[in-house]
Structure 1
Amino acid sequence: MTDGRTKDPRPIGRVAIALIWVALLGRIGLAAGALATIAAQDALARGDAATDALATASSITDAAALVYLATLVLAAGAVLRWIYIVNRNAHALSTALRITPLWSVLWFFVPVAGLIRPFAALSQCWRATIAPAAPEDVRVPPILRWWWAFWLLSLALDNITLRLADGRDGASAVTGAWVTIAGAVIAVPLTATLTAVILQLSRRQNAVLARRTISRFHMFGWQHRAR
């Protein structure tokens, strides 16, 4: 139950969770392609004929990349929409917030600041949800810090993978493949912690908004009877 200025974040949260797990499957597919690439490059290093193996690895990687990129775009859109909604709800709960709903999304695309400000935006939403009158007294939960740590590590690995993709030799291909596998490994706790953040904050915020709406309804009813 919410009023006209707020919105239940749980529906878009469920969509975001479903999409980030589908994107994880695409990332695991990339890791499978990376393993096939490593095996093919090892065969080449031994002097074996590995043309078919390289072609197979390339096919797996290309197919997984298409699935991953498509689902990643959809998942990112859903997660950013969820962030926008919880930030807007938090602003309706507390006047102490400094980062607007729009900037809680835009900061992700700003170089350097995107490594810090999005975390600050979501932290203020969490604190304002728990204690609207005094959000600064609320500690940021560990699950939020873990999610952001995994996110930053994932970004670093993706950046390394892109740089290694420019290499033409087998060594660069193998190194890039191992980094891709590492990225898939990190994506598992990243997805799990983001799921927990979405579920917990959505549930807490919806409960606060429901109590707030009920309180206003009762107050309106009391004022109406007083007349």
Structure 2
Amino acid sequence: MHEQKELPSAQELQPSDQRAKLAITLVWIVMALNMLSLGSGYYSYQLLCQIEEGIEVPLDVASKSDLLELVIAIGYLVAFVISGVTFLRWFTRAYSNLKLRTPYTDHTMPWVWASWFVPIISAFRPFKIMSELYRRTSTLLSEAGADLQNRHTSAVLGWWWALWLVSNVVTNASLRYSMTAESVEELINVAIINLIDNAIGIPLAVITVKVIHDYAKLESRLFDIDQAVVIDDTMLPPNDTDPSEQPS
């Protein structure tokens, strides 16, 4: 049987709402760059199709198209890395707070971030950790008497993780194929794969924002309840009366 865990103090708990907002902002930036990449990629695809059909494409037009794609790709890569860092900072803070609130959790803190990078494990462990965050926090709110009007089911998390896995598969395929592509036909195939990858990235970004936002709301409600409990405790009058002196 697990021992009952005392309510963590305000000094122990660290709100993650600011980290959530920053992570959401970076995801929107990544999505914007992804949309730019989708547009420039489609333009390059059209140029390649013209070349395949024997239509002459001016060298300066092709060069400008390649340069535009390169600039957008670099910007996207930088934004994606920063976005990943901000997401992991929010993710680890949220799980750290959960560990302070519950008698036990399914994972240790090192695995919260390491699970994203270890082969095979990265295909399922982060999803389990996110699901645990939602499940246990919802349970804590229910036990505190909170009215959860909008139940956060596993459907949203399922779509989020499915899109993430598909996006990774398509991205890896694009990288491998682009390293060996030489003919116009092969370059067209690479362009198509990139367009698919960019197209997947848009709904993935939207649903990622929802996942972060929805959990941030759950955690914020839990913090409000904690603060209310602390305030109620401080307003209680001190009981200095010796029980032996009370009238029988």
**Normalising by the residue count of structure 1, what TM-score does the alignment of the two structures yield?**
0.90
Match of 2:93 among 85, 99, 105: 85
Match of 1:21 among 22, 25, 28: 28
Distance of 2:152 and 2:104 partners within structure 1: 15
Distance of 1:33 and 1:186 partners within structure 2: 16
Match of 1:152 among 161, 165, 172: 165
Query: Which has the higher mean CA deviation after the structures are superposed, 145-154 or 209-218?
Result: 209-218
Larger radius of gyration: 2
**Cα offset, 1:122, TM superposition:** 1.0
Does the CA-based 8 Å contact 1:119-1:148 persist in structure 2? yes
What aligned pairs does 1:110-149 form with structure 2 within 5 A after superposition?
Answer: 110-132=118-140, 140-149=153-162
Distance change in 2, residues 1:210/1:101 (3 Å): farther
Q: Could you say which residue in structure 2 is the equivalent of 1:187?
A: 201
**Normalising by the residue count of structure 2, what TM-score does the alignment of the two structures yield?**
0.83
Q: Deviations over 1:130-156 (max 9, x none)?
A: 113999xx9853111111111111111
Q: CA RMSD in A?
A: 2.1
Does the CA-based 8 Å contact 2:14-2:93 persist in structure 1? yes
What aligned pairs does 1:4-15 form with structure 2 within 5 A after superposition?
Answer: 4-15=11-22
What aligned pairs does 1:1-227 form with structure 2 within 5 A after superposition?
Answer: 3-50=10-57, 51-132=59-140, 140-166=153-179, 167-222=181-236, 225-227=238-240
Distance change in 2, residues 1:120/1:215 (3 Å): same
Q: Deviations over 1:168-213 (max 9, x none)?
A: 2222211111111111111111111111111110111121122123
Distance of 1:11 and 1:19 partners within structure 2: 12
Runs of 4 or more above 6 Å deviation = none
Aligned-residue identity in percent: 19
Q: Deviations over 1:58-114 (max 9, x none)?
A: 112101111101111111111111101110111112123121233111100011110
Bigger proportion of residues as helix? 1
Does the CA-based 8 Å contact 1:88-1:100 persist in structure 2? no
Aligned length: 223
